[in-house]
Amino acid sequence: MSKSTCFHCGLDANSSKITFDDKEFCCNGCKTVYEIFSLNDLTCYYDLQTAPGATPKDIEGKYNFLENTKIIEQLLEFDDGDTQIITLYIPHIHCSSCIWILENLNKLNPFISASIVNFGKKTVRITYNQESLSLKNLVALLSSIGYEPFISLDDYSVGKKHVDRSLIYKLGVAGFAFGNVMFLSFPEYFQVGEFWLEQFKPMFRWLMFAFSVPVVFYSAQDYFISAFKGLRSKILNIDVPIALGAAVLFSRSTFEIISNTGSGFFDSLTGLIFFLLLGKLFQQKTYSFLSFERDYKSYFPIGITKISSDNSEASIQVYDIEKGDRLLIRNEELIPVDCILIKGQARIDYSFVTGESKIVSKQSGDKLFAGGKQMDGSIEVDVLKSVEQSYLTQLWSNDVFKKDKELSFTNITNSISKQFTITILLIALVATSFWLFTDSSKALNVFTSVLIIACPCAIALAAPFTFGNVLRILGKKKFYLKNASVIEQLAKIDTIIFDKTGTITANKETTIGYEGLTLSNAEEALLKSTLRGSNHPLSRSLYALLDQNNIVTLDTYEEFLGQGIEAKYKDQHIKIGSASFVGHNNNTATLNTAVHVSTNNQYKGKFTFYNKYRKGLSQLFNTLKKEYDLVILSGDNAGELENLTKLLPTKTKLLFNQKPEDKLEYIKYHQSEGAKVLMIGDGLNDAGALAQSNVGIAISENVNVFSPACDAILDASKFNQLYNYIKVSKSAIKIIKWSFGLSFIYNIIGLYFAVTGQLEPVVAAILMPLSSISIVVFTTVATNVLGRKIPS
């Protein structure tokens, strides 16, 4: 049989046997989307990219909160009665087909007048008419074609966000001035002495002055501000010598043109600021489609259904939930507050909170915690605490989330700039006093020259360009860092702490082992047939594992929620489920999840589910153990202890039953002892630990959707590359140190000219940009070579 894949989404379409238009589909959802597209002449979607789609999800009732006008008002970007504009975040956007179809939405619905995709941010900005097309229907339309938007509590303040473009303005001003000043100083460079050029010299000079003013007072203002702030808190950061250099350059040049003694250094000044800002822009690389600052708001829904005392349902905003309210939680909905189960079968998936994908069954009267996802039908609950007071959200009130990691950390540039500044000032003073005695007319000239030429722009450029480039290279390898300073922190760590579930274990996969009496063929067939009817996740995994047997049609089949399944076929009778359900009483309760089987009231055995560890785990730990202390902090019980000790190096510390606060405290304690901690986790329960650690990496199987607040996001498929990534950050530091060496050589050459009092504008104009550019070239080439060494 030839392998066939779904024409729409690319998944395996062998077993479905759904064909339409001579094309195969994996499910009816995909077929429907194809039908929608072909009816509307949108099949071009499939020409741009093969199998670009996603299976549409059933969203019945999920977006009812979009009927609440108060919520809609907050989500809309623009609203004048006739026209509404909304920006929706759509995680599925991944290729050019997605852009094409989303920008042709108006062909699917005439009330959509325009839609513009921002690929980088994975958003689509839709202009529509609310009277003819409600927001709820718009979202339903998007979901029906497989582009379900992700609307969370975070979006509640949308429209008020403002884009910060100041850096690009500043860079534009500096670049504009730099170009013009260079052009105007041409006659000065060549000293042609031609009559007319001599005549116009003052005008050229004043024009250069005019161009430099906005550069100094607007483009360079951040450097002055930062230098001032640094000095006030008695820190000599790198911006101090830069600000000093820029100020001296500007005042000396202004003085020169006023006194008509020279043309000044306006070209060097504007060029310097331009390059520095360019470095900043380079370092500012952001993965705008990822969110590193996620708290519970990114996970929680905006609206929830409240049941009033007269049994009527209404969508209310999550912040409006009060203690004592009765809420309706639908299938697949997230529970936003701590509450008590009143009605319905609760089967809660706490994987957002714990990383553990096991589903927990709860009985009426049990307490449910915020962050759990209801998996099976709808339930009714009574609210115990408001959103802010719920257990999960309380975690975010911990002080670690308020602290800015970057401020508590002196980076490599700032740590050398202190000695640098002091040395330069000393050289300037010594040289000036020397000239005061030999030729006092040159003293001031020498003093300013030293400060100008020593301006550490090359040093200031080395780090931004190296880190900026490494950031980009690692991003290509699916390791996304929040900002460049994370690289530096990563190079310094000595302790690595892993969360267990979801981090070193694959989230959805398990391995299953069978213990007990051998099952006969008939029994196996019956087992398989019975499991086929069940939707329980354990049944699904077990079903997938068993060999294909002849499926029989069962005579009776009954599922007991929270207990197991019972089925009959001819004279055979089977029970699958918990130990007590199948009638097996053993007190040696194991900590692992197990499914027990009995046939014809005879106990047969159990299938035990083990966590499946990520590929290359053992190897990774063995490489890491040579240089780092390794710890596993798990929120789970010790069920996997034996398995883990076999797999991991003996030195690894294993700690189980750790609550979120315990993890945080553990890291804090080790940091107080001088450890530089790297924490790797995935669930919201690791959020505190990730924030407390020096570097917090979130592992994610889908980088677009769920990851807690962290410094970096690592794609789960690249987990075994972790060691290489740490090695790269160490090499990046080496590159920066080499660049520092290079720029010191330039500084020494420049200082020779400055100290001997022969710094001409043309020397400065050559030496200063040359040092900057060569540093940029050096770091770019070096980091690219480094990037090529990472195995993909």
Partner 1 sequence: MSVIYILLTISILVAIVFFVAFIVAVRNGQFDDSYTPSVRMLFEDELIKEKPKKTILTKKD
Candidates 2, 80, 160, 196; binder of partner 1 (CB under 8 A) is 196
147 and 93 Cβ atoms separated by less than 8 Å: yes
For the bound state, the minimum distance from the C-beta of residue 111 to partner 1, rounded and expressed in Å, comes to 22
What is the smallest separation between the CB atom of 481 and partner 1, expressed in angstroms?
Answer: 20
Nearer to partner 1, 290 or 525 (CB): 290
Give the one residue of 81, 160, 162, 163 binding partner 1; rule: CB under 8 A. 163
Nearer Cβ to partner 1 (46/719): 46
- Least Å from the CB of residue 282 to partner 1: 14
Largest CA distance in the chain: 116
Show the beta-strand stretches assigned E in 517-578: 556-560, 564-569, 572-577
The footprint of partner 1 on residues 174-193 (CB under 8 A) is 176, 179-180, 183
Restricting to residues 583-622, which ones interact with partner 1 according to CB under 8 A? none
Residue list 9-38, contact with partner 1 (CB under 8 A): 38
Of the two residues 48 and 51, which places its CB atom closer to partner 1 in the complex?
48
711 neighbors 481 (Cβ within 8 angstroms): yes
- 269 near 223, Cβ under 8 Å? no
Q: Tell me, residue by residue from 634 to 673, as one string, x for binding to partner 1 by CB under 8 A and - for no binding.
A: ----------------------------------------
Give whichever of 21 and 558 is closer to partner 1, judged by the CB atom. Answer: 21
Interacting residue with partner 1 among 10, 172, 344, 649 (CB under 8 A): 172
In the complex with partner 1, the residue whose CB is nearer, 115 or 652, is: 115
Strand-pair partners of 85: 78, 127
Q: Following CA atoms 631, 637, 638, 641 in sequence, which dihedral angle do they give, to the nearest 10 degrees? A: -60
d(CA 301, CA 156): 10
Cα 614 to Cα 58: distance, rounded to the nearest angstrom: 31
Kindly state the number of chain residues that form the binding site for partner 1, as judged by CB under 8 A.
31
Of residues 121 and 584, the one with the C-beta less far from partner 1 = 121
Look up residue 382 and give its DSSP letter: E
38 vs 572, which CB is nearer to partner 1?
Answer: 38
Rule CB under 8 A: choose which of 118, 226, 345, 780 binds partner 1.
118
Q: For residues 285-304, which are near partner 1 according to CB under 8 A?
A: none
Q: For residues 183 and 228, which CB has a smaller minimum distance to partner 1 in the complex?
A: 183
Binding of residue 121 to partner 1 (CB under 8 A): yes
How far, in Å, are 405, 447, 491, 712, 713 from residue 287 at the CA level?
19, 45, 21, 11, 10
* d(C-alpha 406, C-alpha 413), whole Å: 14
Closest approach of Cβ 165 to partner 1, in Å?
6
In contact, 728 and 786? CB cutoff 8 Å: yes
What's the angle, vertex CA 701, arms to CA 700 and CA 706, rounded to 5? 55
Which residue, 124 or 462, has its beta carbon nearer to partner 1?
A: 124
User: Looking at residue 548, what DSSP letter applies?
Assistant: P
The encoded tokens of residue 589 equal: 């309760």
Residue closer to partner 1, measured from CB, 116 or 546: 116
* Cα 452 to Cα 90, 191, 383, 414, 446, distances in angstroms: 50, 22, 67, 19, 10
* Cβ atoms within 10 Å, residue 76: 16
- In the complex with partner 1, which residue's Cβ is closer, 172 or 344? 172
To partner 1, the closest distance from the beta carbon of 103 in angstroms equals 7
Interface residue with partner 1, options 199, 521, 556, 585 (CB under 8 A): 199
Binding segment for partner 1 (CB under 8 A), chosen from 199-207, 255-263, 374-382, 692-700, is: 199-207
Q: How far is the CB of 117 from partner 1 (least distance, A)?
A: 5
* Amino acid letter, 525: A
Name the H helices within 655-721: 660-672, 687-692
Stretch that binds partner 1, among 39-47, 428-436, 446-454, 480-488 (CB under 8 A): 39-47
CB of 204 to partner 1, least distance (A): 8
217, two tokens: 């007072």
What number of residues does the chain have?
792
120 binds partner 1 (CB under 8 A): yes
Identity of the residue, 206 or 409, whose beta carbon is nearer to partner 1 in the bound complex: 206
Q: Return the closest-CA partner of residue 91 out of 290, 352, 301, 331.
A: 290
Distance CA 434, CA 446 (A): 10
Q: How far is the CB of 42 from partner 1 (least distance, A)?
A: 9
Q: What whole-number distance in Å separates Cα of residue 749 and Cα of residue 783?
A: 26
Residue of 12, 19, 43, 438 that binds partner 1 (CB under 8 A): 43
Nearest 5°: phi and psi at 629? -85, 130
- Site membership for partner 1, residue 217 (CB under 8 A): no
| C-beta separation of 50 from 44 below 8 A | no
Binding piece for partner 1, criterion CB under 8 A, among 111-119, 263-271, 726-734, 762-770: 111-119
Pick between residue 102 and residue 238 the one whose CB is nearest to partner 1. Answer: 102
CB of 116 to partner 1, least distance (A): 8
CB of 786 to partner 1, least distance (A): 25
- Contact region with partner 1 (CB under 8 A), list: 44-52, 132-140, 144-152, 747-755: 44-52
- Considering only residues 70 through 99, tell me which ones interact with partner 1, judged by CB under 8 A: 96, 99
* CB closer to partner 1 out of 121 and 718: 121
Nearest approach in angstroms of CB 94 to partner 1 is 12
Among 11, 27, 36, 48, binds partner 1 (CB under 8 A): 48
CB of 87 to partner 1, least distance (A): 12
Cα–Cα dist 375/392, whole Å:
19
Other C-beta atoms closer than 10 Å to the C-beta of 778 total: 19
117 near partner 1, judged by CB under 8 A: yes
Query: CA 54, CA 63: separation in Å to the nearest integer?
Result: 19
Q: Which is nearer to partner 1, 187 or 262 (CB)?
A: 187
How far apart are alpha carbons 396 and 404 in whole angstroms? Answer: 14
Q: Which is nearer to partner 1, 205 or 373 (CB)?
A: 205
Among 67, 79, 103, 524, binds partner 1 (CB under 8 A): 103
- Answer yes or no whether residue 100 interacts with partner 1 by CB under 8 A: yes
First to last CA, the chain: 33
Does residue 44 bind partner 1 (CB under 8 A)? yes
Structure-derived torsion over alpha carbons of residues 385, 386, 389, 392, reported in degrees to the nearest 10: 90
Q: Determine the 3-state secondary structure of 129 from DSSP.
A: coil
Tell me the Cα Rg of the chain: 33
Residue 349, strand partner residues: 359, 373
Dihedral (Cα; 757, 762, 768, 774), 10-degree rounding: -130
DSSP code string of 169-211: HHHHHHHHHHHHHHHHTHHHHHT---HHHHHHHHHHHHHHHHH
Q: Is there binding between residue 165 and partner 1 (CB under 8 A)?
A: yes
**213 vs 426 by CB, closer to partner 1:** 213
Can you tell me which of 78, 190, 200, 206 binds partner 1, judged by CB under 8 A?
200
Contacting residues toward partner 1, per CB under 8 A: 38, 41, 43-44, 47-48, 96, 99-100, 103, 116-121, 163, 165, 168-169, 172-173, 176, 179-180, 183, 196, 199-200, 203, 207
